[in-house]
Amino acid sequence: MGTTTALKTISVKDLAQKVINHEDLFILDTRNTSDFDDWKIEGRNIEVINSPYVELLEGVDSILDKLPKSKEIYVICAKGGASEFVAEQIMEQGFRDVYSVEGGMKAWSEHLEPIKVGELKNGGSIFQFVRIGKGCLSYLIESDGKGAIIDTNRMLSPYEEIIKEHNITLTHVLDTHLHADHISGGRELAEKHGATYYLPPKDAGEVTFNYSQINDGDENKVGKTTIKAIYSPGHTIGSTSFVVDDQYLLTGDILFIDSIGRPDLAGKAEDWVGDLRNTLYRRYKELADNLLVLPAHYMGINEMNDDGSISEKLGVLYQQNHGLNINDEAEFRKTVTENLPPQPNSYEEIRETNMGKIKPEEEQQREMEIGPNRCAVR
């Protein structure tokens, strides 16, 4: 029985738009169950089932009763090949709206969705780039034709598009800390645009390249706005937060919406937990409650606002975030050191790449980053 209609495909960009719009979606994931259990597409109104490709080679009879007759079916695999085969099999069974996701979970991991999160006081705006497949968040601040990017991912074209579209001259590229769960594109982007690349010096002891230091209290002018650095150790020894325009607090991996940062990606949990507590319970407490917290990661779809962005007022987090409400220091220490998730995949190689010690090929960099982020303590 031949297929009557040609197979349809969908780009990860279009699929991401549907997830961000909280659409009702049905996804069939054909990767191995262990990979699926580690990391999958999630959303407010998403039903996702897993049936490994190897079990569908002889046909899709085993899953027919699980497939919706009246909805689109999106089939995804690791890289986009197996999903085409499975989608065609499903269509041969008389289902009409079946799509194969182009590039699979590998492409999903790399998609960045720019969302404008707000205006700046003297004109200009701040964009959040949501890396929906990995939970990484990065930021573009633009004011008076000048721009700064914070916590750049290695996929540079999404930033380049906005820079071009808004006719921005990039002057500053900053990392809140030396990342261990994704490869930073900061240095490369800065070199390309003749911008200055900033890194906290306490995280840069082993880097092999030139960078500009960002220290506590430093203020950088970007157009008509100011980025002020606040030393906030605890996730790493150098972790630094940025207050933009006295409106926004970029917390890096120190404070998230629903959790707090983990203090051990260099295996230093016991040493750094005191720093983490000091940052969360003293340094941040001195800041204004109405600052909008913009973290470098999010853990789950429940943290997403209606427009797809991730943010919350600092005062609200002091009321609602469990990690900010453990008054007993010993209990805090215990919570943080005993609830550490597993280390991210390849975190040691990612740190070495971000130090400039190793230079993996692009395909290898992709492999190193596959999987979820694990920067939080719940």
Instruction: From 307, 254, 300, select the one nearest 128 (Cα to Cα).
Output: 307
Catalytic residue from among 28, 75, 76, 77: 77
Instruction: From 88, 133, 105, select the one nearest 32 (Cα to Cα).
Output: 105
Residue by residue, DSSP assigns 244-302 as ETTTEEEEETSB-SSSEE-S-TTS-HHHHHHHHHHIIIIIGGGS-TT-EEEESB--SGG
From its phi and psi, is residue 163 left (phi > 0), alpha (psi between -120 and 50) or beta? alpha
77 part of the active site: yes
C-alpha angle 306/310/316, rounded to 5°?
95
Rounded distance between C-alpha atoms, residue 239 and residue 315, angstroms: 21
Rounded distance between C-alpha atoms, residue 141 and residue 148, angstroms: 5
Query: Which strands, in side-by-side order, build the sheet including 225-231?
Result: 219-222, 225-231, 240-244, 248-252, 292-295, 312-313
From its phi and psi, is residue 170 left (phi > 0), alpha (psi between -120 and 50) or beta? beta
- DSSP structural state of residue 154: S
Please count the CA atoms within 13 angstroms of the CA of 362 that sit on its side-chain side: 6
Tokens of 313: 């007022």
In Å, how far from its chain's centre is CA 354?
16
C-alpha angle 362/367/353, rounded to 5°?
60
Instruction: From 104, 56, 98, select the one nearest 80 (Cα to Cα).
Output: 104
Instruction: From 112, 48, 73, select the one nearest 308 (Cα to Cα).
Output: 112
Q: Which residues pair with 227 in a beta bridge?
A: 220, 244
Tokens of 210: 């030139």
Supply the residues annotated as catalytic: 77
